[in-house]
Amino acid sequence: MMTVRERDHTNPRGLILVALMCTMMLAAMDTTIVATAVPQIVADLGGFRLFSWVFSIYLLAQTVTIPTCGKLSDLFGRKPVLIIGTLVFLAGSAASSLSWNMVSLIVFRGIQGLGAGAIIATVSTLAGDLYSVRERAAVQGWLSSVWGIAAILGPVLGGALVEYVSWRWIFLVNLPVGALALALIGAFLHEDFERRHPRIDYLGSVLVLTSVGVMIFGLLQGGQAWAWSSPESIAVFAIAVVLLAGMVWSERRAAEPVMPGWLWRRRILAGSNLAVVGMGLVMMAPMTYLTTFLQSVQGLGPIAAGMVLATMSVGWPTASALSGRLYLRIGFRDTALIGSILILLGSGAFLLMPSPQPVWAVVIDQITLGAGFGLLSTPLLVGVQSVIGWNQRGVVTGANMFSRYLGQSLGAALFGAVFNATVAGRLANAPVSVADELPRNVNDVIGALHHADIGAAAETYLRQSIDVATRDLFLVMVVVGLLILLILLLVPRHFSIHSSQSK
């Protein structure tokens, strides 16, 4: 049995919180900062057709690592897993800065993703170890604020480094931040534990990594590299099903399973995780397509469009920090229900806006969505951490965080398919008066709108097509929001707090 030394003078929790925020910043900022350097990286390394994998491999490696690292933190302690994960991330960062072609950059980004998965799982688990149920909402608010800061700082810092130094510094900048975090963790985070000889679930770990990895690979490639009904897609998902079946068989027999069956047999845990899958799915529509809409339909510049999207990150940490007052009064489930209602309102409000949508209204809409995410995610995370003891908190936290990122992978596939299908349908059924000026392929729409010499009528039609496609995305968000609401209504209203959580 291991425990973190809680609430005593040997653990200065303020400094540890700074360390946790620094490590979380590494994982949070790495996508936004890389996005600003796409033209420069491609110009230097080539391989533009492979560039989407610079982002995809990071998400894939991060997602599949989370449940395994959550379990390892239960077996060996949070501190060693967090330190090793941070070192792996920093090694991937240093290697990425030395990339000599696109393939090498993709490989090194995968290493970064492995480290990021360990960071995300362990930081959230430590927040549950160090702080009481009453304190965790404020702590999660601070940790959530890191993502808001990353959404704003990442593009600004990345743009400055690319313009005045080199794109390679967008990876090197991680090193001093990581060094500070490691120094604080090493000096101030202490764990007391009883040494034992855990039985590591090697087969289960491999099957979790491969089954989820193959499934997410199929989701990322489907509709992009190949059609959903193609032999490649069918083969990939068939392999994923076989591996998932093998994982279930293995985990039922393992002494220390990575993904134990009780995670899905207990209504509180299963319902909370499914709701978080839905939240992760909904997040991807605005995160992926809102800036395209704002630039192509509203005529905003890239920076202004990014700032509008970043307002979601204002509502999220604010609501997350304030959620503690609510869940202590009305409970975890009912607080999450309020969050799901705000997600529904934010999704539906966009559909009711007249075209062109006022930018101020879109900003309010994004703040509302962010508040919904904060009121949904924090109570459910704190809630599931509170119904179990220390030796299960890592696997429960890992499952919750894994669910969010699995939802994001599902969302990337679903919303990509919806957006592309809508635009493709509009191109196929375009009026004869503009049909000859329109691109034949969905991939060429943005280029035609911003760079091609097309007539005013064709330009208007393309802008309307993107507007219609974006509205379809928000319609799907409404449907998913309703499903989240229904799932939460099936979750028990009262969470039975574990005795070790009462302090």
Same domain membership, residue 238 and residue 288: no
**pLDDT class of 348 with cuts at 50, 70, 90:** very high
Q: What is the model's pLDDT at position 310?
A: 78
Task: Say if residue 249 is in the same domain as residue 279.
Answer: no
> d(Cα 23, Cα 462) in Å, to the nearest integer?
42
Environment class of 360 (CB within 10 Å of its CB; exposed 0-12, middle 13-18, buried 19+) = exposed
Q: How far is it, in rounded angstroms, from Cα 95 to Cα 26? A: 15
Which of 158, 178, 198 terminates a domain? The answer is 198
Helix or strand holding residue 4 (H, E): strand 2-4
Task: For residue 410, give its domain range.
Answer: 259-503
Confidence of residue 497 (pLDDT cuts 50, 70, 90): low
As a whole number, the mean pLDDT across the chain is 81
Structure confidence at residue 6 (pLDDT): 44
CB of 112 within 8 A of CB of 58? yes
As a whole number of angstroms, the distance between CA 293 and CA 104 comes to: 33
pLDDT bin (cut points 50, 70, 90) of residue 275 is very high
Judgement on whether residues 87 and 45 belong to the same structural domain of the protein: yes
Q: pLDDT tens, 163-195? A: 788 888 989 989 998 999 899 888 888 776 555
Same domain, 239 and 272: no
Q: Is the pLDDT of residue 112 over 90?
A: yes
Q: Which residues are CB-contacts of 454 (< 8 A; sequence separation ≥ 6)?
A: 437, 438, 448, 462
| Cα–Cα–Cα angle for 92, 94, 95, rounded to 5 degrees | 65
Per residue in 124-150, pLDDT tens? Answer: 888 777 777 777 777 877 887 787 777
Nearest of 92, 28, 120, 184 to residue 381 by alpha carbon: 120
Range name among 246-255, 369-378, 464-473 with the lowest pLDDT average: 246-255
pLDDT at 59: 81
SS3 445: helix
What pLDDT shows up at residue 411?
83
**Residues 330-353, mean pLDDT to the nearest whole number:** 92
Type of residue found at 40: Q
Question: To 10 degrees, the CA torsion angle through 297, 464, 288, 238?
Answer: -170
- Same structural domain, 216 and 178: no
- Both tokens assigned to 28: 């949070």
Domain end, chosen from 198, 224, 244, is at 198
Q: What is the CATH number of the domain that holds 101?
A: 1.20.1250.20
Same-domain pairing of 207 and 318: no
Amino acid at 162: V
Domain termination site, one of 216, 233, 254: 254
Same-domain status, 353 and 234 = no
Q: Is the pLDDT of residue 89 over 90?
A: yes
Domain identity same for 318 and 234? no
Domain shared by 233 and 272, yes or no: no
Same domain, 13 and 88: yes
Instruction: Give me the number of domains the chain comprises.
Output: 3
Same domain assignment for residues 48 and 187: yes
The CA-atom distances, in angstroms, between 98 and each of 39, 43, 79, 349 are 17, 15, 29, 46
Q: Quick one: 455 and 428 in the same domain?
A: yes
